[in-house]
Amino acid sequence: MGVRSLGNALASFGYKFGTTGLEAVGGPRVSIVASGGTKTTSGIYTIHTFTSPGNFVVTNGGEVEYLIVGGGGGGGCGDAPPDADAEGGGGGAGAVYSTDPAIPSPQRKSPITVTAQTYPIVIGAGGGGAPGEVNGGALGGNGGVSSALGVTVGGGGGGGSRNAGYPHPNPIPSHNNAGVPGPVASGPAPTDNAGSGGGGGQADDNYGPPGTSTGGPLGKAGGAGAFNSTPSASGGGGGGGFTGAGGNSTGDPVYGGTGGDGITLTIPGSPLAVGGGGGGAGMRNNDPAPANWGSAGGLGGGGLGGKQDRNGGDGTANTGGGGGGSGRDGGDGGSGIVVIRYPT
């Protein structure tokens, strides 16, 4: 490497040749000094990981990178007997807001400059899975918002059910079998921070189309539920993930839709997959096989879909993964996480 090339390389890191050797461009460089969370190092970085609420306390400021993930939505559940064959949709993933280079532009965010002060950290809880065998079914709960460094991001939407809140047969023509859209959170760009939508509950042969849902810019839509009258079978859609929409319920026997995929990031110091949607529940009436017709959750902590007699799986903690839908209890969504890093 020539002297000029070496000088250019040093300049890219903020240094130059001086009279006394290497010197920082613009004067002495002061490292960031901060505390809070679980503090580790990886390569050239100091990393603060928050899996529960706390404070990021800065003594000397500078530019930081970050990962902020909202809580995943809970899975929906099926109907009460004698219509307990209804299947719930998977919960949507929490929003993923990060500077990580694995995230493509324009979703990848810019570093933030912190100053000497205390930054409150909020970790979104996972949405509760719907309780099983509720008359008309029930929707999963929305995931909670996470916030750090002045940014707030949304949780995932809860999974749908066939006909939440109404007895079957339903005298009301409108149904509530849709998954819940990813809720919009406040922040510097409110419409930019919504999570993924929950999967739709099963369609009903007499009372309406399959449920679906929409996702925000930081998440994808949930898939549609399905109904097959010959033989009688039903399934819920998969919850949306950060990078992939939830799958539609389909087939005979009816399988739940797969949860949408999240993404694997390296800001935490080692690879961490976050933002996976929960799998939808599936079933076939009078099927003696013990097989689980529910579908897998998405990459990034999405919970496994259940079936008529099996609860949905929970989303993985601190990934924002959605809970799996079920004919019984829907799975709980996974909690969120906040990671902050800077050069040591």
Domain span at 18: 1-30
Helix (H, G, I), strand (E, B) or coil at 57: strand
Instruction: Please choose, from the candidates 262, 279, 280, 278, the residue with its C-alpha nearest in 3D space to the C-alpha of residue 337.
Output: 262
Note whether 166 and 24 are same-domain residues: no
What pLDDT score was predicted for residue 148? 96
Note whether 25 and 84 are same-domain residues: no
Question: Domain total for the chain?
Answer: 2
Note whether 54 and 137 are same-domain residues: yes
Note whether 328 and 292 are same-domain residues: yes
What pLDDT score was predicted for residue 113? 97
Note whether 331 and 229 are same-domain residues: yes
Residue 130: partners with Cβ closer than 8 Å, 6 or more residues away: 74, 75, 76, 77, 88, 137, 138, 139, 140, 141, 158, 159, 161, 329, 330
251, 275 contact by CB (below 8 A): no
Residue 105: partners with Cβ closer than 8 Å, 6 or more residues away: none
Cα–Cα distance for residue pair 166/206, rounded to 1 Å: 14
- Tens-level pLDDT at each residue, the chain (344 residues): 555 555 554 454 455 555 555 555 554 456 899 999 999 999 999 999 999 999 999 999 999 999 999 999 999 887 665 555 567 788 999 999 999 999 988 889 999 999 999 999 999 999 999 887 776 677 888 899 999 999 988 888 888 876 544 344 444 444 445 555 554 443 334 445 667 777 777 655 443 445 556 666 778 888 887 777 666 667 788 899 999 998 888 766 678 889 999 999 999 999 999 999 999 888 755 555 545 567 899 999 999 998 877 889 999 999 999 999 988 899 999 999 999 999 98
Note whether 39 and 102 are same-domain residues: yes
The DSSP bridge partners found for residue 18 are: 21
Note whether 26 and 37 are same-domain residues: no
Note whether 135 and 4 are same-domain residues: no
What pLDDT score was predicted for residue 267? 96
Note whether 198 and 226 are same-domain residues: yes
Helix (H, G, I), strand (E, B) or coil at 64: strand
pTM of the model: 0.84
Note whether 20 and 110 are same-domain residues: no
Note whether 287 and 171 are same-domain residues: yes
User: Residue holding tokens 């099927």?
Assistant: 287
What pLDDT score was predicted for residue 138? 79
What pLDDT score was predicted for residue 159? 86
Residue 202: partners with Cβ closer than 8 Å, 6 or more residues away: 78, 86, 87, 88, 162, 177, 210, 225, 226, 227, 234, 235, 236, 249
Cα–Cα distance for residue pair 264/102, rounded to 1 Å: 8
Note whether 275 and 134 are same-domain residues: yes
